[in-house]
Amino acid sequence: MPTETIMQARQCLDTLRANVDAAFAYLHGVCLQDGTLAPQLLDQNQKVSYELAFCVAELEASAALLDYAVSIDTETDLCARVALVFCAETIRSTWQRLLSHAQELGLQSTELLTLMGTDLFVGFLDSHGDVKQLAQIGAELLDRGNARLPTGLGEEKDLVRESFARFADDVVMPKAESIHRFDTDIPDALIEAAAAMGCFGTCIPEQFGGLMPDDRHDSLGMLVVTEELSRGSLGAAGSLITRPEIAARALLHGGTEAQKLKFLPQLAAGQMLAAISITEPDYGSDVASLSLKASSTDNGWVLNGAKTWCTFAGKADVIVVIARTDPDRKKGHRGLSMFMVEKPRFEGHEFSYDNPAGGRLIGRAIPTIGYRGMHSFDLSFTDYAVPNEALVGEDNGQGQGFYLTMAGLSGGRIQTAARASGVMQAALEKALTYAGDRKVFGAPVGDYQLTRVKLARMLAALTASRQFSYAVAKLMDAGGGQMQASLVKLFSCRAAEWVTREALQIHGGMGYAEETDVSRYFVDARVLSIFEGAEETLALKVIARDLIAKAG
């Protein structure tokens, strides 16, 4: 890619980011009351904060994709053009968001209009934002018959990807449709095969039986595995390692040595399946307000209350439960603790377990339009007794539940971005094949310009999601990237909804049939913007709030 073109793209992105930062600074002043940000004023500016969060996510995704295009050493021309057309689309969408809310963001409409008319922006968009550029990429994609671009991760990670791609093709895909259509449990044979592949140990250090090096983090391996499992099926395979990944990060962050030695080897081997129980019926993503009660006893703790949307709770051997150990509700998140609640495995859509130590746990699966196989449960704990050693961190773990949850979810968010990439990959592959085979008005669907443009845009969104997640994984492994983990989830999950929608649309009427894979991808993708931090919560309570605070 010519240096001049790189500089032009970066300058356009940087100029728009400067305007976004100016808007955050304006909101900081608007939302300030008595020297601090006032929650009620932040809430009065939710719409513009939400739009700004997406601006930042798309701009950072564009920057990551541009970095990838610069560094790649194979198929450099195609990768570069994909990056540039994506940058062009981001420039237009960011500018439109800013212009639409200029007055509310403290920006001048006239200056934004002038900006888009400058030689810098006009020159870049004329060269790389033309429909013909997109159509040409789509045509090349159809000719090559391959929906993959090089990962840029090197031979080792590519070998891992190829291995799990074959596993997805041979083991997961043949079972995916049946699991979805009949809402059955994931077969034990599939879980055992996944365990034999080592996928449950991707985020667990080697000293505990996992695949991650003891001396460094390696989130990239986990992302590559997650993508391929999700390409096979989001509900039947892509989410298998999410829960042990979240549990492992929390244990590594705050568990005792005894707890690490007990749980991590079993999680890594797939001998112990995990579920994560955070959400409650009245609070959703508002973790700080959770109310399930944990009362101290002579022998440990007793849990009372309800949880909801606990995925895989039936087949799980251990449920990671966030409970309130301090009855003073005014303490908010500081009164929460994390428990490792063990139970037997149960098949099907409901279970009732009388705990020999005392109390009962009842679970009922929630019927959903997609993401089937793992089942998400409503749970009811009644005087459910757990020992002291079930409290993560034991005595030092009281009041640490919120922080342990955040430590776990940061990894869960980049993994969710990888799940989104996997679903997009599957959708694009099916759309590409169908567009080449299906004839409409005497010509293949893929011969039409609109189809080619759609395919090119789908490829660009997928590649941006993938490379953004890889970039964030490297940041997190180096000890940072918490904000970026939220940004990449925000971007990738929205992109997956759009890409799967376009894949279904390319299939026409057949795309709406349950027997067609793209219909499953479409309903599965819809959940991605909801779990591991709902889109609105991430945009408003995490991303925008943090950036508004820092803008002061």
CATH number, domain containing residue 202: 1.10.540.10
Q: How do residues 323-355 score in pLDDT, each as one tens digit?
A: 999 888 777 788 999 999 999 999 999 999 999
Residue 109 CB coordination number (10 Å):
12
Q: What is the mean pLDDT of the chain?
A: 94
H-run or E-run covering 510: none
Q: Which one of 246, 269, 292 terminates a domain?
A: 269
DSSP code at position 476: H
Q: End-to-end CA distance of the chain, in Å?
A: 38
Q: Which one of 269, 286, 310 terminates a domain?
A: 269
Q: How do residues 411-454 score in pLDDT, each as one tens digit?
A: 788 999 999 999 999 999 999 999 999 888 888 999 999 999 99
Q: Does 550 have pLDDT greater than 90?
A: yes
Q: Does residue 335 lie in a domain region?
A: yes
**Which residues pair with residue 321 across a beta bridge?**
277, 339
| Nearest Cα residue to 288 out of 127, 156, 399 | 399
Residue 284: what pLDDT? 61
Q: How do residues 474-490 score in pLDDT, each as one tens digit?
A: 999 998 998 999 999 99
Q: How many domains, the chain? A: 3
Q: Does residue 8 lie in a domain region?
A: yes
- In whole angstroms, how far apart are CA 458 and each of 28, 436, 492? 36, 16, 12
CATH number, domain containing residue 73: 1.20.140.10
Are 211 and 179 in a shared domain?
Answer: yes
Token pair recorded at residue 99: 């212009």
Residue 225: what pLDDT? 94
Residue 94 CB coordination number (10 Å):
24
532 a catalytic residue: yes
* Percent of the chain whose predicted confidence (pLDDT) is above 90: 83
Token pair recorded at residue 96: 């439109």
φ, ψ of residue 431 to 5 degrees: the values are -65, -40
Residue 348 CB coordination number (10 Å):
12
Considering only 16-20, 334-338, 404-408, 443-447, which range has the smallest mean pLDDT? 404-408
Q: Is the pTM of this model over 0.85?
A: yes
Token pair recorded at residue 302: 């007793």
Are 179 and 232 in contact, with CB atoms under 8 Å apart? no
Per-residue pLDDT band at 8 (split at 50, 70, 90): very high
Are 231 and 327 in a shared domain?
Answer: no
Q: What is the mean pLDDT of residues 374-397?
A: 95
Are 16 and 84 in a shared domain?
Answer: yes
Q: Does 50 have pLDDT greater than 80?
A: yes
Per-residue pLDDT band at 212 (split at 50, 70, 90): confident
Domain of 360 in residue numbering reads as: 274-399
Residue 187: what pLDDT? 95
Are 263 and 170 in a shared domain?
Answer: yes
Q: Does residue 357 lie in a domain region?
A: yes
Q: How do residues 263-300 score in pLDDT, each as one tens digit?
A: 999 999 999 999 999 988 877 656 667 889 999 999 89
Q: Position of tokens 């002291």?
A: 388
**Which residues pair with residue 304 across a beta bridge?**
293
Query: Which residue is catalytic, options 429, 532, 535, 536?
Result: 532
Q: Does residue 7 lie in a domain region?
A: yes
Q: Which one of 269, 293, 327 terminates a domain?
A: 269
Sequence-distant (≥ 6) Cβ neighbours of residue 199 within 8 angstroms: 164, 225, 229, 240, 241, 270
φ, ψ of residue 45 to 5 degrees: the values are -120, 35
Q: Does residue 167 lie in a domain region?
A: yes
Residue 132 CB coordination number (10 Å):
9
Residue type, 288: A
